[in-house]
Structure 1
């Protein structure tokens, strides 16, 4: 039996109207609400009349399923917003999620490719000279997409929604509409513009408004179709496809910029992060660069290196030394 989801439609409508939530975001929130409602139904409660104890039971169910703490924290964020909405609309007089503890997410560094691996990926895109027209175009799609992802740090949703009109002319920057409808300017490299021009010329006869059209030219390419292209290019480049994703290229963009001295605030603007705390995950690059600078330049570090024996290990200390 489907659990009681009363109140969720109004909540989702609010997210779409007031916060310009993307369809994928709305679908994720709807799934979170359904998950909570199903757990509450087993406790003879509904979303509208849930207690704090019932919500703790839902969190326990998620933990028993082996869900990552980051996923649980995201789902709990949705539920908190839902009850705040009910409270604001006068549909509840209390907030049962107010005192629930948020699981501390595991801190993980974003995966990224080395500069040489990115270069190998780009070099593997073009098809051989004797390739069929379809394969030649597939190579052009791959090159234009990877150039834009790596040179501009785009999200895959931003990439696939690009229109031909947005990339017409000789502009050095591109206006991108990101999460929450926020707009930002991102740079366009010379190589990215050349790859885009080649693809646009090949696709001129399709009459599609999109830079990366799908099988139906009136619709953009799907994420799944792009994943297949990236998988094939990765194999040709000698890279493990399991390490590749559009987000890995976005992480590579950010990591390489910081490694070459980019400012964290500028990187926040380029990535379209609303909060610089989101961008700070990339400071592991700065930390390593600072460590290397200290090791190379600090007089005590240099003195320690001079006193280090040939084996590369410091002199041993006697166990009974004070």
Structure 2
């Protein structure tokens, strides 16, 4: 596999800051050598925070950022002075990033909006100073709390591409060529399987200065749900797409079978994917005459809208954009 700057999964060791210890201190003044307890609280340990950044498209910037260690809180001191809190660490991630615990695989955070901040791993609380424990019956407490320890664990950050439309199809179905024609994206295009090894995003300009985002994803094959080919790496990126655009080449031997295989792989990976809105584009349609187009139309499922397109001749591209825009902006029927 070619070396890529698209990194969609990172494993990192995280440790939030320990809370500072509370102070055990007694005030001493010139005129009152037993003025009472004045030990301050310890400072909070630093949090580890995730922040969404719409200008990031990959986790590449975290590739060599393997240890994330937040600062510890400072201990309290006399005169009821609270220790300084540990400095928080903010990790900027692209929209569509999910955070999981490596050991339990539990979903801990999800970043979907620009500027969204989530306290991912909380720092330990600072301990209470002995001034907090003074009572009428115990006016000189000797006790102060230690700070809480921070949390440390191996974590996983995983990117699921956020796009309005996801292109789904077998290798060499013409997805990359389609994206290069309808948007400014420049995906690698060649006549062999798995040219696209990583997701490519393109903004499609629509009427009236409007636009929507299309993702060209690595080609699916039978067995992808079990991890064959690019397997799960491909399938997790389609979870966030509002519409799935199935690209079926005109020269396919059996269009309906190809569509059913693609549906089956999606269902095995995550049955909820079948609740998304589907559109079919029959690519390379410059190879078909009207009679063949009518025959192909009869093969396709009647409840899924379809359009015949050709990236080589621009046939049907305006119609496809109109269909995608209408589907994106119509309320989904339950």
Which entry has the higher C-alpha Rg, 1 or 2?
2
Task: Calculate the TM-score normalised by the size of structure 1.
Answer: 0.22
Task: Calculate the TM-score normalised by the size of structure 2.
Answer: 0.21
Q: Considering fraction of residues, name the structure with more strand.
A: 2
Q: Considering fraction of residues, name the structure with more helix.
A: 1
